[in-house]
Amino acid sequence: KVMFIHDWGCSEVEQWLISEGFEKYSDLICNEHEVDGEVLLSLNENDLRKPPLQLTKLSDIKKLWRSLKLLQQKSKIECSALKGAFYSLPFTGPATHKNGMYNNSNNNHGKTIDYDSDNLMLDSDMEEPIILRNKGVNFLPELNKLFVSFMYATFVSWVTAYMMVLVHERVPDKQKYPPLPDIFLDNVPLIPYAFQLAEFCGLFLATMWLLILIFHKHRWRYCIYIFSNINLMISPRLISVDNISKVQASMYNSSWERLVRATEIMVGCGMTLTGVHTCGDYMFSGHTAYLTLFNHLITEYTPTKFYRLHTLSWVLNLFGIFFVLAAHEHYSIDVVIAFYITSRIFLYYHMLANTRCYWHSKRVKIWFPLLSYFECNVPGKVPNEYEWPIQLKNLRKRFTL
């Protein structure tokens, strides 16, 4: 049974004192003065120094006060959870804080629970971080939001493809407007197959992401984060390739042909491996954007201890960017802008989504309505937990019904 700190009785307070190493004061505090959880949370350092407690040993006063501050901070988090805030920390009994870990003997049978840096939260009133664990929080799938985010991503992708079709008709003549000078392209020889290698890097990252998505416990909410990180690619620019004769403006006779071509680009994901060849989407590298997006998705939704996977993801991201440039498919500024915008949008979105203090601001709801809609019922940062997508017990329940 979950018991919050302010609901403790004298026996729970006594257990907490013993677990913190203050067994000699348990009789004074619990039996003589009948201090329960509510009274314990109201104590301060002066209460420990002055009568009626009047502790005499300075080291015990400081250590007990430090433990009380940590306990009070935990209680604040619990109260926020009861009020429907984003972080909760259900507490089943006294816990010991040793070397950055909490040991909860009541519900873990004396085993030490290890927490990583993904679950840290800093508070301005505390000298040390409080460690959170969202495993006890119920994350609802919210399939309606998944559908909205999927439709939004599909619509934006199609509009982007349609804009590329329109821009393709305005590609300037290479004879009249030669390529602009670029320090990287001028010094790196053309590698004809490099663009395909960049797309292979993207496909490998996408495969890694799909595997993480399949085995992630909160896969439905994970999808909402993915579809809400959509980047638009606009603005035509002069052709950066000087030796590809196929790059020329394409004229379409009707709006229907443009719609069909836009659908082909969207279905083919804009990749040359699927037979899609477009021009005019300069000033922003779409391949760099999706390489960077997949990289950030992999590193964000896997634990920090998967550092080998994170290293591989970053290597593929950077090599993919290099191959885009080596193929002379984009100017250097295209790649830099795409990497910067994609990474900033991803990090800003998750920073706002995981920082609960911003949700009290109306400005966030005005300027980021989709963010406010997608994250309004999320009870905290999505923990990186994994499970088999198809479980035998769930199949048995369905067959028995």
Are 41 and 47 in contact, with CB atoms under 8 Å apart? no
Q: Examine the domain organization and report whether 64 and 202 are in the same domain.
A: no
User: Do 172 and 72 sit in the same domain of this protein?
Assistant: no
Regarding whether 236 and 111 lie in a shared domain, the answer is no
Query: Does one domain contain both 96 and 154?
Result: no
50 and 103, same structural domain?
yes
Q: Which residue has the higher pLDDT, 83 or 389?
A: 389
Q: Quick one: 100 and 149 in the same domain?
A: no
Same domain, 267 and 288: yes
Per-residue model confidence as pLDDT tens digits over 260-319: 777 777 776 666 666 666 654 556 787 888 899 889 988 988 888 888 999 999 999 999
Q: At what angle do helices 219-227 and 332-354 cross, to 10 degrees?
A: 130
Per-residue tokens: 154 = 């599909």
- Three-state DSSP class for residue 101: strand
Q: How far is CA 101 from CA 120, 125, 131, 219, 349, in A?
A: 12, 20, 8, 28, 30
pLDDT value of residue 316? 94
Please report the pLDDT score of residue 2 as a whole number: 52
pLDDT at 147 over 90: no
Last residue of a domain, one of 136, 167, 200: 136
Do residues 237 and 275 share a domain?
yes
Domain span including residue 221: 143-375
User: Nearest 5 degrees, angle CA 326-CA 263-CA 194?
Assistant: 10
Among 97, 168, 281, 334, the active-site one is 334
With a pLDDT cut of 70, the percent of the chain lying above it is 60
> Is 13 within 8 Å of 30 (Cβ atoms)?
yes
Answer yes or no: is 389 within a domain: no
Is 27 part of a structural domain of the chain?
A: yes
Is 287 catalytic? The answer is yes
Q: Encoding tokens for residue 363?
A: 């400005």
168 is catalytic: no
Longest dimension (CA), the chain: 95
pLDDT digits (tens, 9 = 90+) for 330-385: 888 888 988 998 898 888 877 877 776 665 567 777 887 777 777 766 666 667 77
Active-site hit among 97, 216, 328, 330: 330
pLDDT at 133: 44
Shared-domain flag, residues 102 and 246:
no
Given the residues 97, 218, 287, 296, the one annotated as active site? 287
172 and 260 together in one domain: yes
State how many domains the chain has: 2
Q: Which of 136, 163, 181 is the last residue of a domain?
A: 136
Q: Does 61 lie in the same domain as 27?
A: yes
CA gap 29, 6 in Å, rounded: 16
Residue 218 is a catalytic residue: no
3-class secondary-structure state, position 140: coil
Say whether the peptide bond before residue 52 is cis (omega within 30 degrees of 0): yes
Where does a domain end: 105, 136, 167? 136
> Is 253:169 a contact under the CB 8 Å cutoff?
no
Residues 200, 132 share a domain: no
10 neighbors 36 (Cβ within 8 angstroms): yes
